Amino acid sequence: MFVSYDESILTYAASIRRYFGLSSCYPSDGKLSAILEKNKPEKVFLLLIDAMGYNHLKKKLPEDAFLRKNLLAVTSTVFPPTTTAATTSVRNGRAPNENGWLGWSQYLKEIDDIIIPFRSCGFYNDIEYENNIFMKYIPISSTESELRKNGIKAGILFPSFMEDGCEDFDEMCGRLIDYSFSDEYQYLYAYWDKYDTYMHEHGPSSKICDSYLEHINYEIENMAKSLNEDTLLVITADHGQVDIRRFYNLYNSPYEKYLVRRPWLEQRAMVFQIRKGMEREFEKQFKEEFENDFILLSKAQVIASGLFGSHKAHPRFEEFIGDYLAIGKSDMILMYRERDNNYYKGQHGGLSDDELEVPIIVYQNRK
């Protein structure tokens, strides 16, 4: 499936933005907007659980589980379904093509390197760059910062890798309860990452991931039922994951001769920059070898498809999508590794429902 951005996670972000007086170029979601207007909560907390795709909830939790009982809707995340693109879009209400933040690794010409935008370091090397270097060249806003400019109290809550972050999910839930009874925030964006980590390491079908999802459901239910009545809790995800059983390593492969530089973006949404005059040969060989595992799109096809978004693109969007994009559609990934063939058992970035469909869960503790 391809993403319809007017019926996606951006429409729910639009509802929240408009509730607080901000604009959006996307339509609001009717159901969420109706709840906001009817209940008129003083506070809105948006909790995003990394990798908690809808199909995982449906398969792994019983119908009477809190996260399923309070499901408002199932919608699509953005493309690619990956943390860099999706959480950025959720936080500012714009599609990836508008933001320019497209994937875990991106080529930045100013330093002639493929870096990890969220970590300000090289993807293929150990180079540490200045903090927020990608933000320096590709600046983005957030709903929180826009609200603060308008005099509305807004903030973020992250795991411990961020300053003042939470050591575990229990702490995050406890702090959400505390904030709901204080006047510190009217809007709060909270992000939790460990479910995604476990799925990468063990695979989404693993018992470890099943147990952790049960833990998340239990903690969220207890937290939600302890919130102040003036707080509306919205829970969603950035993407889901699929089990990975096969890989192809591009390093020292027949495809090396085509590449201007190493590929970037995601293992299930990989960008290639191809040597001039070799495009047709590359396309022919790739399609013949991977026709059952990947969709290969040229830059022109990517732009025409609106895959990354349908509104006006960032000035550097075309630069960031290279010459070709390979999108995963099976249980296979592409990678470029010089030293080992280790790979994650769970991955995301492709076009399957498991990766794209995310839940919208809404709860207000009204007696």
Helix (H, G, I), strand (E, B) or coil at 343: coil
Tell me if the bond preceding 359 is cis, omega within 30° of 0.
no
What is each CA distance from 244 to 34, 102, 212, 359, in whole angstroms?
Answer: 40, 22, 20, 23
Query: Is the C-alpha dihedral spanning 110, 116, 119, 121 positive or negative?
Result: negative
Please answer whether residues 213 and 66 qualify as being in contact, where contact means their C-beta atoms are separated by less than 8 angstroms. Answer: no
Measured at the CA of 327, the angle between CA 114 and CA 316, to 5 degrees, comes to: 45
Q: Exposed/middle/buried for 111, CB within 10 Å: 0-12, 13-18, 19+? A: middle
Using alpha carbons, list the distances in angstroms from residue 104 to 85, 116, 141, 143.
8, 6, 19, 22
The mean pLDDT value of the chain amounts to 97
Say if strands 187-192 and 43-49 run parallel, antiparallel, or are unpaired: parallel
Kindly tell me if the per-residue pLDDT of 75 is higher than 60.
yes
Phi-psi region of 171 (alpha: psi -120 to 50; beta: other; left: phi over 0): alpha
**Model confidence at 115, in pLDDT bands (50, 70, 90)?**
very high
Q: In this predicted model, what pLDDT tens digit does every residue of 227-248 receive, in sequence order? A: 999 999 999 999 999 999 999 9
Q: How many residues are given for the chain?
A: 367
pLDDT over threshold 80, residue 340: no
β-sheet bridge partners, residue 248:
334
Place of tokens 């996606």: 8
pLDDT tens for each residue of 101-111: 999 999 999 99
- At residue 366, the pLDDT reads 79
- pTM of the model as a whole: 0.96
What pLDDT is recorded for position 367?
66
Q: Is the dihedral of CA 205, 211, 212, 218 positive or negative?
A: positive
Amino acid at 85: A
User: CB 43: neighbour CB atoms within 10 A?
Assistant: 21
- Report all structural domains of the chain as residue ranges with CATH numbers, in order of start: 5-94+140-241+354-364 (3.40.720.10), 245-343 (3.30.1360.180)
For residue 58, the model assigns a pLDDT of 96
Q: What is the pLDDT of residues 137-161, one digit of tens each?
A: 999 999 999 999 999 999 999 999 9
Phi, psi of 12 (to 5 degrees): -75, -35
Range of lowest pLDDT (88-97, 226-235, 320-329, 336-345): 336-345
Q: What is the rounded average pLDDT of the residues 71-98?
A: 98
Angle at CA of residue 234, ends 202 and 55, nearest 5°: 40
Nearest one of 23, 26, 31, 25 to 11, comparing CA atoms:
26
* Distance, C-alpha 192 to centroid of its chain: 12
Long-range Cβ contacts of 247-254 (<8 Å, 24+ apart): 247/332, 247/333, 247/334, 247/335, 247/341, 247/343, 248/290, 248/332, 248/333, 248/334, 248/335, 249/335, 249/336, 249/337, 249/341, 250/334, 250/335, 250/336, 251/336, 251/337, 251/338, 254/285
Cα distances from 61 to residues 69, 168, 302, in angstroms, run: 10, 22, 36
pLDDT of residue 300: 97
Mean pLDDT confidence for 167-182: 98
Q: What residue has token string 């470890």?
A: 208
**3-state DSSP assignment of residue 10:** helix
